[in-house]
Amino acid sequence: MQLRKNPNNIFVKLLLGFWLCSSLIITLVGLLPLLQQNHDQSELPPQLKHLLETVSQKIINNPQVLNNDKMKRWDRFKEFNGRPIRIYLVDENANVLNTHKPSRTLRRFMLIADEAGKPIKQQFRNELMFGPYSFHVEGKEYSLYGRIPEHHSRPWFFFFSDNKILTLSIAILLSGLLCGLFAWHLGKPLRSLKRSADALAGGDLSSRVDMATALRNDEIGQLAQAFNSMADSVEDMVNSQQRLISDISHELRTPLTRLKLSLALSRKKGQETAETERIEYEADQLEQMIAELLELSRVKLNANETKRNLELSETLSQVLDDADFEAQQQQKQLHIDIDESIVAPLYPRPLCRAVENLLRNAIRYANSQVSIQAIATASNIQIEIIDDGPGIADETDLEAIFEPFYRPQSARDRESGGWGLGLAIARAAIQAHQGKITAENNQHSGLKITINLPIQ
Three-class SS state of 180? helix
In sequence order, which residues have a C-beta less than 8 Å from that of residue 344 and are 6 or more positions away? 309, 310, 312, 376, 381, 453, 455
- For 83-143, give the secondary structure using H, E and C: EECEEEEEECCCCECCCCCCCHHHHHHHHHHHHHCCCEEEECCCEEEEEEEEEEECCEEEE
- How far is Cα 79 from Cα 58, in angstroms, rounded to an integer? 16
- Decide if 250 is catalytic: yes
- Say whether 439 sits in a helix, a strand or coil: strand
Q: What are phi and psi of 206, to 5 degrees?
A: -90, 0
Q: How many CB atoms lie within 10 A of CB 414?
A: 10
The answer to whether the beta carbons of residues 287 and 419 sit under 8 Å apart is no
CA 49 vs. chain centroid, Å, equals 64
Which residues on adjacent β-strands are paired with residue 86? 147
* 207 HSE (CA, 13 A, CB side): 19
Per annotation, catalytic residue among 151, 185, 250, 335: 250
- Rg, Å, the chain Cα set: 46
Q: What is the DSSP letter of 401?
A: T
Which sign, positive or negative, has the C-alpha torsion 456, 433, 338, 439? negative
Cβ count near 15 (within 10 Å): 11
Which of the residues are catalytic? 250
